[in-house]
Amino acid sequence: MDEKTKKILKELPKIDELLLLLEKQNIYSLAPRTLVKEICRNIVQELRENIANGKKDTRAEISLDVQDIAGEIYRKIKDLHNYHLRRVVNATGVILHTNLGRAPLCPEALQRINEVGRGYSNLEFDLSKGVRGQRYDHVSHLLCALTGAEDALIVNNNAAAVLLVINTLAEGKEAIVSRGELIEIGGEFRIPEVMNKSAALLHEVGTTNRTRLKDYEKAINRETGLIMKVHTSNYRIVGFTEEAEIEALVALGKKKRVPVMNDLGSGCLINLENYGMEHEPTVREVLRAGVDVVTFSGDKLLGGPQAGVIVGRKKILTKIKRNPLNRALRIDKFTLAALEATLMHYLNSANAVKKLRALNALTETVAEVKKRARKLLSKLRKENCAELELCLLDGFSTAGGGSLPTQKIPTVLVGLKSKKMSARRMEEKLRALEVPIIVRVDKDEVLLDLRTISEDEFLFIVEGLRQVLFG
């Protein structure tokens, strides 16, 4: 270390000096002394390491003034009081936006969370018998009624559901999967790696684009524990392709006495073709084909909270429930409350489409979206007519969330161009609002997709743009 660096390091303020200064700023009303002291030490240590490593080695690049450092500490502590998980306005047109929390919960789900969470509940208590009960019983009857399954289990997400099923049925054995179905979803979650963690042995069959029934049949041996079918919910292989029908796999599984699992991923309970969309297999139709166990997500096409749903034959579900991993993956009372309220809407499919925001956004007509877009445009013109160039544009939304990957959903966009700032700068400012507005940017134009914007969010947009444009 050279003399210049040593000299700079000596100028770093003492911890006691910082604490004295912060005390005068009434810092202990925001945090206890032990926490304040720890943050002081961390920041000073970070400065010391940056200087010593030559990242910043001059006073021009880094302020060593005690007032400046104390100010940084104060801001850091004050920030602890700000909620970091916040509501945002999704103006992107991606309906099941994974980064934005996927499916919004319906009002009934929120009400149930409040009712169940504000006091005690019968989470694992059988009210009719006065003895310990099972938390899954609160929703399993609904899932069975809606899907035709014999039994059901819920864990914390679909990745956990897949892991639990494979571990239960194929630990130390082979699980047969087509090469074309060795998928990767967001966050580098890969089926082969999940299978490895489940202690099952991956047995790939077929090719990327063509896998026949005979490929599965040839692969079955004494070590086979599971035939696995994975729905390609986040991509499609088109062209020169072939895959084994699920009914044929079921027949093969019965013949060889090997259970058949189908990971549906996005999981759909209604026929989306009735709303002009491409075919997406429903849980009921897959179970009707004879599949032993099916897994899917709760916060994708189902439109509920994050959860991994496992449905199928009672004999197999009983075995899965007894797996020690099940306890590590179980869901809490809030998820159960929200899921129960969500599932109740499916007792009437028309009601589900109307009440569940994700389903409503998927199936809403372009005319309805345009009507809402015109309302927003009118409000914006009244507020910002001199500052913004505004227009309506046709466009496409997407399902998102690893669902319906090839489905282009017609939509209506509100286009914004500022006379004062670039689209990128406006996007940054909208993202920095107290209620952030997440938008698209295309060719120096900010785009608001009305398919993912509800009318009760107009106020956030109008007020947000006023703040962005006028400060």
Q: Are residues 61 and 183 in the same domain?
A: no
Neighbouring residues of 209: CB distance < 8 A, sequence distance ≥ 6: 180, 237, 239, 240, 241, 242
How many residues would you count in the chain?
Answer: 471
Percent of the chain with pLDDT over 90: 76
261, 349: one domain: yes
Check whether residue 372 and residue 299 sit in a common domain: no
Whether 261 is covered by a domain: the verdict is yes
Residues 44 and 121 in one domain: no
Q: Is residue 312 one of the residues assigned to a domain?
A: yes
| Residue 207, pLDDT score | 83
Q: HSE of 314 in the Cβ direction (CA atoms, 13 Å)?
A: 5
Q: Confirm if 402 and 233 have CB atoms less than 8 A apart.
A: yes
56: pLDDT strictly greater than 60: no
Nearest to 140 by CA among 20, 320, 355: 320
Q: What is the pLDDT of residues 264-289, one digit of tens each?
A: 988 899 999 999 998 899 999 999 99
> Has residue 340 been placed in a domain?
yes
Question: Encoding tokens for residue 131?
Answer: 């003895």
**E-assigned strand segments in 192-238:** 201-205, 224-230
pLDDT, tens only, 295-306: 999 999 999 999
The DSSP code for 404 is: -
328 plus 386 within the same structural domain: no
Is 125 within a domain?
yes
Predicted local confidence at residue 107, as pLDDT:
97
Q: Where is the domain boundary, 355, 390, 415? A: 355
125 has pLDDT over 70:
yes
Domain boundary among 298, 332, 355: 355
pLDDT of residue 109: 98
In a domain, 225, yes or no: yes
Query: Any idea which residue has 């869901």 for tokens?
Result: 331
159 and 121 within one domain: yes
Do 335 and 387 lie in one domain? The reply is no
The reply to whether 377 falls in a domain is yes
Say if residues 294 and 281 touch (Cβ distance below 8 Å): no
Co-location of 163 and 38 in the same domain:
no
pLDDT band at 49 (very low <50, low <70, confident <90, very high): confident
Rg for the chain (alpha carbons), in Å?
28
Q: Which three-class secondary structure state does DSSP give residue 229?
A: strand
Please indicate whether residue 413 or residue 209 has the higher confidence score (pLDDT).
413
- Written as six digits, the tokens of 45 are 């240590």
Q: Record the pTM.
A: 0.90
| Mode of pairing for the β-strands spanning 125-126 and 131-132 | antiparallel
What pLDDT, on the 0 to 100 scale, is given for residue 62? Answer: 53
Range(s) of the domain holding residue 9? 3-79
Contact predicate 402/266, CB 8 Å? yes
pLDDT confidence tier of residue 57, bands split at 50, 70 and 90? very low
pLDDT given for residue 233 in this prediction: 62
- Name, in order, each residue with C-beta under 8 angstroms of 46's C-beta and a sequence gap of 6 or more: none
> 121: domain CATH number?
3.40.640.10
Residue 84 lies in a domain: no
Cα–Cα distance between 238 and 397 in angstroms, integer? 22
Average pLDDT over residues 373-402: 90
Mean per-residue pLDDT, 122-134: 95
Instruction: Report how far residue 146's alpha carbon sits from residue 133's, in angstroms, rounded to the nearest whole number.
Output: 22
pLDDT class of 99 with cuts at 50, 70, 90: very high
Choose one of 355, 382, 405: the last residue of a domain. Answer: 355
pLDDT at 244: 86
Q: What is the pLDDT of residue 250?
A: 96
Of residues 414 and 471, which shows the higher confidence score? Answer: 414
299 and 266 fall within a common domain: yes
Q: Where residue 183 falls among pLDDT bands split at 50, 70, 90?
A: confident
Same domain, residue pair 44 and 129: no
- Please state the rounded mean pLDDT for residues 123-151: 96
3-state secondary structure of 104: coil
Q: Tokens 């490593």 map to which residue?
A: 53
Residues 53, 133: one domain? no
The mean pLDDT of 325-342, rounded to a whole number, is 96
- In this structure, the number of other CB atoms found within 10 A of the CB of residue 386 comes to 8
Q: Is the pLDDT at 146 greater than 90, yes or no?
A: yes
Per-residue confidence band for 188, with pLDDT thresholds at 50, 70 and 90: low
CATH value at residue 414: 3.90.1150.180
- Note whether residue 291 is domain-resident: yes
Beta partners for 151? 312
At residue 130, φ and ψ (nearest 5 deg) are 70, 25
| pLDDT at residue 17, as a whole number | 93
Q: pLDDT: is 240 or 92 the higher one?
A: 92
For residue 29 the two structure tokens come to: 């009303």
**How distant is the alpha carbon of residue 26 from its chain centre?**
40
Residues 49 and 137 in one domain: no
Q: How many domains does the chain have?
A: 3
CA 18 centroid distance within chain: 42
Answer yes or no: is pLDDT of 189 > 90: no
Residue 95 host element (H or E): none
Q: What φ, ψ does residue 364 adopt, rounded to 5°?
A: -60, 140
Residues paired with residue 205 on neighbouring β-strands, in sequence order:
178
